[in-house]
Amino acid sequence: MTRPLYIGSEIYRHSSYGPKHPLAVPRVSTCTDLCRALGWLPDRVYVEAPMASEAALARFHDPAYVAALRRAEAAQAVSEAERARYRLGAEGNPVYPEMFRRPAISAGGVMLAARLTASGGVVHCPGGGTHHGRRDRASGFCFLNDPVLGLLAWLDQGLGNIVYVDIDAHHGDGVQDAFAGDERVLTISVHEAGRWPFTGAAEDRAGGTARNLPVPKGFNDSEFLYLLDHAVLPLVRARRPQAIMLQAGADALAEDPLARLSLSNNAYFAAAAALLGLAPRLVVLGGGGYNPWAVGRCWAGVWATLNGLPIPPRLPAEAEAVLRALRFDRAAGRDPPAHWFTTLRDAPRPGPVREEVVRLAALTLEERLSA
Ligand SMILES: [Zn+2]
């Protein structure tokens, strides 16, 4: 197999959803800078994401919505009617300077990942993962849905057996709904129960093309590995997929301010490593993740995992400097613990595997629900 490729973009470096928004923090640029500082990202494997054209976005999105998004960026304002219809400038989807270009570049990156893996391969595209985006409106900080566009690009190449695995703390509702009833794509989502968007119950199988694993608060590494071994991997193996897309939203990490799960980044590395050999094509995306240190360390470690690179126990000075330069206007940013600067891999966060997690795995594999 050829070397894994990394798709990034400089647009993420200075783009912010606004000072009070959870996406005020840099994420992709931190990951990229860490990987460069560690010598993991030679120029020959780095690809700058292209901006998707409006015609390409129309493969999934309503052209009228895309046009409205572009107008909103140009005007830096939306009419009351467009706010109500498209949820622009509302519900956590702010009007901000790159509100069309940034998601269009994320979409271009994930569609490029599908093209670059047409005959096999591995791509890390941490700017992707906007799993809540809808055909004709913004949702949950997502203006477009780049995972859907990437999966459609694979289908358009003729692939007919794809698995999408989503380990973001929030349910991957936009992707599940886009492929509901389409036998070619199985969507699997592990997410915090009772959290926005409040969909993705264990019984919800979207007519057979989805599996949902809503997990309890405090979900730990041992429980994650249990679900991986007893639900996610058996489902993936049984499908023998031609391609796997992993949405690795980093908001299920214990340090995340928006969710209440307790994973260490070892859980993410384990998922990436386990999925790596299960299909000839693997594309890994980012997603949520609102603690800048936790996100950058997690996604950089995922890239190391995809490349089989050892993660040093103590970061070299250049990598530490990347982490020390970050600022975070929340309580956790006032007195960050030293290991957020000096290490990449978290200490494991094992714990008891609760009965409800065991039941969830059994329910997920149960056939009778599959209709
Ligand atoms: Zn999320």
Tell me the DSSP string of 281-325. Answer: EEEEE------HHHHHHHHHHHHHHHHTPPPPSS--HHHHHHHHT
**Mean pLDDT across 238-253:** 98
Q: Which residues are catalytic?
A: 132
Tokens of 52: 């998707």
Summary mean pLDDT of the chain:
97
Q: How far is the CA of 249 from the centre of ligand 1 (A)?
A: 6
Q: How far is the CA of 129 from the centre of ligand 1 (A)?
A: 9
Q: Which amino acid belongs to residue 128?
A: G
Tokens 């560690």 belong to residue: 38
Q: How far is the CA of 2 from the centre of ligand 1 (A)?
A: 31
List helix spans (H) across 140-248. 146-156, 173-178, 221-227, 233-239
Tokens of 117: 């893996």
Confidence band for 251, pLDDT divided at 50, 70 and 90: very high
The pairing of beta strand 121-125 with beta strand 210-215: unpaired
Residues above pLDDT 90, as percent of the chain: 96
Confidence band for 118, pLDDT divided at 50, 70 and 90: very high
Q: How far is the CA of 119 from the centre of ligand 1 (A)?
A: 31
Q: What angle do CA 224, 167, 31 make, to 5 degrees?
A: 110
Q: Whose CA is closest to 51, among 93, 104, 8, 4?
A: 104
Whether 122 contacts 1, CB under 8 Å: yes
Q: Is the pTM of this model over 0.85?
A: yes
Confidence band for 334, pLDDT divided at 50, 70 and 90: confident
Residues near ligand 1 ion, CB 5 Å cutoff: 168-170, 249, 251, 288
Residues facing 48 on adjacent strands: 8
Q: How far is the CA of 57 from the centre of ligand 1 (A)?
A: 22
Whether 220 contacts 266, CB under 8 Å: no
- Over 90: is that where the pLDDT of 332 sits? no
- Over 60: is that where the pLDDT of 89 sits? yes
- Over 50: is that where the pLDDT of 22 sits? yes
- Whole-number Å distance between alpha carbons of 115 and 98: 25
3-state helix, strand, coil in the chain (%, to 5): 45, 15, 45
Whether 353 contacts 219, CB under 8 Å: no
Confidence band for 1, pLDDT divided at 50, 70 and 90: low
Tokens of 259: 């969710």
Confidence band for 371, pLDDT divided at 50, 70 and 90: very low
Residues facing 9 on adjacent strands: none
> What is the predicted pLDDT for the residue at 2?
81
> What is the predicted pLDDT for the residue at 369?
57
Written in H, E and C, the secondary structure of 59-116 is: CCCCHHHHHHHHHHHHHCCCCHHHHHHHCCCECCECCCCCCCHHHHHHHHHHHHHHHH
Q: Give per-residue pLDDT as tens, 169-190.
A: 999 999 999 999 999 999 999 9
